[in-house]
Structure 1
Amino acid sequence: MSNNLQGRVALVTGASSGIGEATAVALGRAGASVVVAARRVDRLAALEERLAGEGVKVLALELDVTDEAACRAAVARTVEAFGGLDVLVNNAGVMLLGDIEGADTTDWTRMVSTNLLGVMFLTHAALPHLLTSRGAVVQVSSTAARVVRAGTGVYNATKAGLNAFSESLRQEVTRRGVRVTVVEPGVVDTELREHITDPAGREAVEQRIADLRQLHPQDVANAVLYAVQQPDHVAVNELLVRPTDQTW
């Protein structure tokens, strides 16, 4: 891709807040037509209005990535609206921390379904179009794919699995012109931690990050933008972005 994303089409999941919202804004401002997808349609509508007001071609889609049929429909709607698909940003995810002993296993199901299967479903649906456009897949992973701690085991497993899936995908498609990038943020100031249902798990992570200058969503969006703006012969396969203060 050239440094100008004019004429390109991007689909961003988890776009109703945080990293997804910031990434959608960054891609739109760089010239791309942007499809913003998430479950919270009220927030999507506000983002759609904001981007349209800046002159960005934008479409908001309600999407639960755990629903494979909905993933296929979202890709089809994107292609119908804008004529193709060049950039897929798999950002939707949940982080439901807590010890394995005594865990509410419905939290596990939510994480595996969203963080792993959702990415697989959407990537699978998008791949024929990305192969046609010689496009890019960006997977928003985490430092949790690399650094395992007590109380974060299933989240670690989903992000490590995402990285493994993405590397296999890269080997399959890179010679056909599709570039695969894994972005691994450290601690980011988003609402992700607010959804932790286990009180001890939530308290532990809050204590761990209390003295950190956290990343902002825009910092991660800048990493995504950097990767997709590289010339066609350059593939940025992995970007690890931590706050300066984060030691793990």
Structure 2
Amino acid sequence: MDGDHGDHGHHGDHGELFPRERAEIAPGAVHVPDWLGAGRQRELLDACREWARPPAGLRTVRTPGGGVMTARQVCLGLHWYPYGYARTAVDGDGAPVKPMPDWLAALGREAVATAYGRMPDPEVVHDIALVNFYEGDSRMGMHRDAEERSGAPVVSLSLGDSCVFRFGNTASRGRPYRDVELRSGDLFVFGGASRLAYHGVPKVLPGTGPHGLGLTGRLNITLRVGGLGPGPT
């Protein structure tokens, strides 16, 4: 993942008359369009394909109530399952979770610095990544990222098809919320007052990804700071 982001200000295949602008969606929640250039997106996609392979690869997530998440997932650093963390794929093949790469943690720090205009504190080290793969009819219900003990910002990177990203409030899954279109290469960071805001993906927009990327569907890479220490097993 060497090199700069490149392609800043590139508007993909959408041909906008005006470039999309960086926007604060809620206090502490920032959308940075076109943050990852085409080369960076391809490198990240290649890495995701490696992580998706067994052992501890891409899996279907089942909720305690018997539901099935339509987005499939692979984890790095620690394995997330509803609703906690473990060091092995406890709801998959039981294999040890793949490590969090240093370059991905560094990308997380860079993302926070870009969103907030300042480098994060030295102890803010993203040590968990959740990679969600959305096919055309996949979605993600409104939820909070609440299993971490750290209040450090969450970093979200998008690859492939665009989606409707619904960013809500900290009190309930309902209104008020704002719908944001996230496209391939977009960055979304939420921390501070919005760290525990409910958010979800009500819709993926099939066929909207960059033609040159070679991805059918959408990948979302979410970087988190666990603050969990050596505790999870």
Q: Is the TM value for this pair above 0.5?
A: no
Name the structure where strand makes up a greater proportion of residues. 2
TM normalised by structure 2 equals 0.29
| Structure having the larger proportion of residues in helix | 1
> TM-score when scaled to structure 1?
0.27
